[in-house]
Amino acid sequence: MTNILYDALCGLHTDNHATFLSCDDGTTHSYASFVARAAQMANVLQTHGVEPGDRVLIQAPKLADTLALYIGTVQAGAVYLPLNTAYTQAELTYFAEDAAPRVIVCDTKDAEMLAPIASKVGATFLTLDGVEGTLHQQADQQPMTFKTVARGPEDLAGLLYTSGTTGRSKGAMMSHKNLLSNAQVLTAHWQITGTDRLIHALPIFHTHGLFVAVNTCMLAGAEIRLMESFSVDKILTELPQSTLMMGVPTFYTRLLNDARFGQDSSATMRLFISGSAPLLAETHTAFEQRSGHRILERYGMTETNMITSNPYEGERLAGTVGYPLPGTEVKLVDLETSAPVAVGDIGVIEVRGDNVFQGYWNMPEKTAEELRPDGFFVTGDLAKAAPDGRITIVGRAKDLIIAGGYNIYPKEVEDVLNACNGVLESAVFGVPHPDFGESVIAAVVPEPGATIETDVLRADVADQLARFKHPREYITLDALPRNAMGKVQKNVLREQHITGA
């Protein structure tokens, strides 16, 4: 048996001296040197007793060594568990107690917070900052080769916790097959090759920045310009030297807000990809008008990797997420009966394929609830399909508002509001109502320098939507609350409105 994920990502790169990573500090790392560094990481893990299937928990900065630790964990046959660097001690305690990792790695500056947690769960504690961290120092002393631990298609390679917007965070178990199959499909679908240079400004504790961006580039032998965080100035500097960028909608709106961005600055680029949160049709159109590039929007989840994508060659329609990827089955079913819905009707997305996860860590009941016996996973996302199969997301089932017995899909109301003069973006959500069950509330963010008149919004909505869909209250905000990947947190809006915070 081989280690299918490691072999695919690194098997051809042992003697590849082409550049893999270019970092903010000016250092570059070839594929060959990176593979050697990953082997040193694997040796460190093995010296601390890490065995196949053990979890390695990481809350560390975005560095070349962090990525080397990811690959070294896979090479050692262990399970990589990356965590958001913004998590608090209470949140980290939950993750550590739930996952029972053999090793915990964190930024040196967070050692005081993480060390007691590691002690509590009996994990080896290491620090990583690229210079003085104990992991860095120990890796420097290790051999640059490692006997790769055999792992099969169903063995776990990653454990990613969902954001936990409703209840406890759930650990999605990702196998070698889940990660590799999706990376192979995306690499082919987006035509990523060794001639590409990716601008990487995403976090690497998330599916998008880690498994989508890094795995596809490693399969193709592409170069990654690894940025510690998003910066318009850095992006504009790197665009003329790059061909590919993966981002969240916020990246593209910020570029559009800078007069320096245009066709000249993006002349060498061949593809801009957006995901992790919905891309407004207005952003899609404005970006094309400014740069000449039509953003490719795709759709996926922590539990499924990527599910659909607009075509690389073909029409990329604003507001849609394209077609199911090769090897991925998608069906839309009724929210109540689970029966397939008619073409054009709204249903819950269910998905099946090699990309779909193995279940939730330590949660067999939740796994049985959302992962059907026939292999279809219930995403909880609401969508409709065109006759040709193109998918349009309309919202989350949990965000569905039921007022007076009528179903109200927030995105339908948001689309009307977002088209109103002076509105930058909006979020529509429901709160309890004594008579109707729920009441529709709209939070709107004005464009810079604009003033939003509620009466004007009400009039525009009245012209386009049935009365039962009209927001009963409008709230003006400077910005919508978002998580690390740019998704609007309607649960936060709902809670703030109910409590009056």
CATH code of residue 101: 3.40.50.980
Asked whether residue 491 is assigned to any structural domain, the reply reads yes
pLDDT band at 472 (very low <50, low <70, confident <90, very high): very high
Q: Which of 47-51, 257-261, 395-399, 439-443 has the lowest mean pLDDT?
A: 395-399
The domain boundary, picked from 113, 137, 152, lies at 152
Structural domain including 444 reads 400-499
What's the pLDDT score for residue 109? Answer: 93
Q: pTM to 2 decimals?
A: 0.86
The domain boundary, picked from 152, 176, 210, lies at 152
Averaged pLDDT of the chain: 93
Return d(Cα 499, Cα 83) in angstroms, integer. Answer: 29
- Provide the number of structural domains found in the chain: 2
Q: What are phi and psi of 56, to 5 degrees?
A: -120, 110
Asked whether residue 125 is assigned to any structural domain, the reply reads yes
What's the pLDDT score for residue 165? Answer: 46
Asked whether residue 470 is assigned to any structural domain, the reply reads yes
Q: What is the SS3 string spanning 265-306? A: CCCCCCEEEECCCCCCHHHHHHHHHHHCCCCEEEEEECCCEE
Asked whether residue 258 is assigned to any structural domain, the reply reads no
Asked whether residue 378 is assigned to any structural domain, the reply reads no
Higher local confidence (pLDDT), 81 or 337: 81
User: How confident is the model over 284-302, as a mean pLDDT?
Assistant: 95
Instruction: Report the percentage of the chain scoring pLDDT > 70.
Output: 98
Asked whether residue 480 is assigned to any structural domain, the reply reads yes
Return d(Cα 232, Cα 210) in angstroms, integer. Answer: 21
Both tokens assigned to 393: 């997301």
pLDDT tens profile 343-382: 999 999 999 999 999 999 999 999 999 999 999 999 999 9
Asked whether residue 349 is assigned to any structural domain, the reply reads no
Asked whether residue 174 is assigned to any structural domain, the reply reads no
Give me the CATH number covering residue 433: 3.30.300.30
The helix/strand/coil state of 164 is coil
The domain boundary, picked from 117, 152, 187, lies at 152
